[in-house]
Amino acid sequence: MLGLIKKDLLMMKGNLKSLLIILIIFGLMAIEQNNDLSFFPVLISIMLSISTFSYDEYNKWNSYVITLPNGRKNVIRAKYLSALILSIVAIILSIILLVTMESMTHHINLMEITSKMVICFFSIGLIISVTYPILFKFGVEKGRIAIFIGIFILVTLMGLIVKKVKLSLPTYIIHTFTNYNLVILPMILIIILSISYKISILILSKKEY
């Protein structure tokens, strides 16, 4: 499985150089204009993670690797672990960006930075949890269409619910989440990722190549 993780990371490396150049350019612009660019490494990590599916599909990699012992499970484990490693790198880059930008104003708020990073990490994990099972099921081309349709339906339903139903959460729930979101969000993410991982295994175990 370590070889599969290394393979994914090496595939990402090809796109990483050009994306890092873009990151540096936008980072300098953000520092000059005093804009928050902490989300950009997060966006890059998501793009790189999903790009590995395109390479695998183009080279028909999965049809070969599933013939190895525990090949199907190892493919999924490698994808999720590679995404985790890349997410950690993205968070570190985001922290560097935030500290650099805030140090220029002589005011570094560690609590605010921590809160932003937890939200960024949660966002990466949530997107991966939703997209990976879809990509394993439909492939890259059909998967993109399925993701687009899914997002459209979800946004539409949420809009209708908010418009038709007046939702009001109890005060104690809002208060608890506000004070303990740095603990609650990681716990929720672990549950979501675990479910996504199990679904991906189920999908790939039944898929024919």
H-helix or E-strand containing 86?
A: helix 71-103
Within-domain flag for 79: yes
- Per-chain mean pLDDT for the chain: 77
Within-domain flag for 6: yes
Q: Is 140 exposed, middle or buried (0-12, 13-18, 19+ CB in 10 A)?
A: middle
pLDDT score of 167: 56
Question: Cβ of 189: how many Cβ atoms within 10 Å?
Answer: 19
Ramachandran bin of 152, using left for φ above 0, alpha for ψ from -120 to 50, beta for the remaining angles: alpha
pLDDT score of 69: 74
Domain residue limits at 135: 2-144+186-206
Torsions phi, psi for 116 (to 5 deg): -65, -40
Within-domain flag for 128: yes
Within-domain flag for 174: no
Q: Distance of CA 190 to CAs 4, 42, 83, 113, 122, Å?
A: 23, 18, 14, 21, 9
Q: Summarize pLDDT for 12-21 with one digit per residue, the tens.
A: 766 666 666 7
pTM score: 0.79
Helix axes 71-103, 2-33, angle to 10 degrees: 20
d(CA 68, CA 74): 9
Within-domain flag for 41: yes
Q: Summarize pLDDT for 21-43 with one digit per residue, the tens.
A: 766 766 666 666 666 666 777 77
Within-domain flag for 151: no
Question: Cβ of 205: how many Cβ atoms within 10 Å?
Answer: 11
Within-domain flag for 84: yes
Range list of β-strands (E), the chain: none
**Structural domains in the chain (count):** 1
Within-domain flag for 162: no
Q: Distance of CA 153 to CAs 30, 149, 157, 158, 192, Å?
A: 34, 6, 6, 9, 20
Q: Summarize pLDDT for 146-187 with one digit per residue, the tens.
A: 877 877 777 677 666 656 655 555 666 666 666 767 788 888
